Chains A and B, each alone.
Chain A
Amino acid sequence: MHMTYHDYAQYKLSDFLEDDSFVRWVIGADSRSNAFWQTFLVQYPDNEKVLREAASIIKIYRNQSSFTNEEHRDEVWKRISATIHKQSTSQTKVIRFPIYKVAASIALFIACTLILWSVLTKGTHTVKTAFGEVKAITLPDQSIVMLNGNSELTYKDSWNDDAQREVWIKGEAYFDVKHINIDTTHILPAHRFIVHGNGIDIQVLGTSFNVKSRRNKTNIALLSGKIEVSYTGSSAIASGGLVLTPGDYVEYAGQKLLSKKKLVRPHKVATWTVREIAFIDPTLNDIMENLQDNYGYSVNVEDQELLNLRIEGEISVTSVQELLALASSTLGIKIEESGKEIIITRK
């Protein structure tokens, strides 16, 4: 924040209304500045009146009715996908027929039936990715999950306010969880978001983090917010749940904590979400495991010793071919790729 308390002390009503950080704070877009404004009010109590006036004008203004057109959401979407579909075959324009309304009501009926069915049968939804594929998934609460290759995410079809939000993960995923807890002293079940991994549970209150659960090992990197990790089948308190803060990186083997460290640049662990392959000080083994897990390669090594070779520094490439070329030239070894098989030999 560039402005100082003293600067704000000179502010008139219209100045507050024009100030970027003030407006963002009032509309709740910038909770980090809560402390700043509270301190300001303590230091300059005389300015409280004008500050609150400015805030109330914005609040009252925002208290307007909103038009969401929710009932046509699916119909509009169907028109969009229909047009795109038609465009790929011919360039004819889509003409709207009343039949869309009929179709929409039939679709609505089917949707209702499906929802009812899934509630009754407690249906679950599973999204799987193939090797080398990255998928973006929007959960029922609008949280976003990026699923890396050869991974699987399962969640219940219907989420309601009485139940906690739960997902099950195999493989690797990046989570951006929607924060819906308002009062930290009064947490409702739906405010909780739990990720179930290999023997461990991660409890979240709105945050972004990366989970990788492969080869019986689970590692978690926290990018922002706060999460608590506990072992499946025991309450957090009983098992002494581990609370992570941003930058923390932990590795588990089943229910055993192997290591905990602080990452200098935690965002690096999620580079795969933009289809980038990245490593920090990797061994050849780290690279090969990644290619097996995410892309489905099989690896053939002449001498297992070679796997311990390490590349110092950061690697960031966009294709497997680029990665192999880089590894072979840096380590002075021969790496051949034939189909889905990688053969590593000495030069």
Chain B
Amino acid sequence: MSSHQDSHNILWNTFKKGDWEAYTSLYHLYYRLLNNYGYKFTRDVNLIEDAIHDLFVRLWTNRNNLGEPLSVKNYLYKSLRNILFRKLRTQSRFFTIQEDEESIPFEVSYDNQLILNEEEQMLQETIKKVLHKLPARQQEIIYLRFYDGLSYEEIADIMAIHVNSAYKLLYKALESVQQSLSLLSIATVEIIMRTVFSSSTSSERYTQAHVLIQIPISSLADQA
């Protein structure tokens, strides 16, 4: 467990004892992350804000009955997801009756981009296209995995599925990604790798180290 997680757990325990400042800190620490996660399910910003509002009000009201979660982030993601789904279902009921979770979309967006070079853009285009075709829950698992770096146990907890199902779901998603990528025949893609090969100890994802790496994409066909 990182010291980062430790301190968030300390905040969580302090908040549970009724400390308003700790509660405020939790809100500010997770506000951006929760908005970003919520935005993948809906573009209705008001709805996301309502869900975050409900989530935090409930958190404070029920603070005496809260257990020790897998992690603070896990607890908040899971609760936000439940609240959002309930709201989205009530909304959609005005049009059609849908009980199926798959009917709730999940979409990552690449609208306003950090500057990528031509090859990176091509690889990104491909990834975009592949992801777009995947079922919503497969897209969500890729997000929780590659964006948030969560473990299978954590993902299973958030999505309320069995750990084995989480493995299977991600496997299916990755298979589709790999198949589509193998169709690409660009000779070389130059990727500006971010923190990977630098010796940095930072976990900030907005930072950049400049390491130029050559990646022959054509060879992906061998593994498909």
Contact = CB atoms under 8 A, between A and B. Distances in A.
Interface of A: 12-14, 17-18, 20, 23-29, 31, 34, 49-50, 52-53, 55-70, 72-73, 75-77, 79-80, 83-84, 87, 134-138, 142, 144, 146, 176, 179-184, 206-208, 223-225, 273-275
A274 B13 contact: yes
Interface in B15-64: 17, 19, 21-22, 24-25, 27-29, 31-32, 35-36, 39, 45, 48-49, 52-53, 56-57, 60-61
A134 B27 contact: no
Interface stretch (B77-85, B93-101, B144-152, B157-165): B144-152
Interface of B: 2-4, 6-7, 10-11, 13-14, 17, 19, 21-22, 24-25, 27-29, 31-32, 35-36, 39, 45, 48-49, 52-53, 56-57, 60-61, 108-114, 116, 120, 123-124, 127, 142, 145-147, 149, 151-152, 167, 170-171, 174-175, 177-178, 181, 189, 191, 193-196, 198-205, 207, 209, 213, 215-217, 219-220, 223
Contacts, number: 205
B204 to A, nearest CB: 7
Contact of A56 (B6, B200, B205, B215): B215
B196 A68 contact: no
Nearest to B57: A83
Contact of A63 (B3, B45, B56, B113): B113
Nearest to A185: B199
Nearest to B35: A69
A58 B146 contact: yes
A28 B10 contact: no
B220 A13 contact: yes
A18 B171 CA distance: 8
A76 B14 contact: no
Contacts of A56: 123, 189, 191, 193, 213, 215
Nearest to A208: B3
B149 A66 contact: no
27 contacts: A14-B174, A14-B223, A18-B171, A18-B174, A25-B196, A27-B149, A27-B205, A49-B219, A50-B223, A52-B215, A53-B217, A53-B219, A55-B193, A57-B127, A59-B193, A60-B120, A63-B116, A64-B109, A65-B112, A67-B35, A75-B49, A135-B19, A179-B201, A181-B202, A183-B200, A184-B199, A208-B3
Contacts of A274: 10, 13-14
A184 B113 CA distance: 28
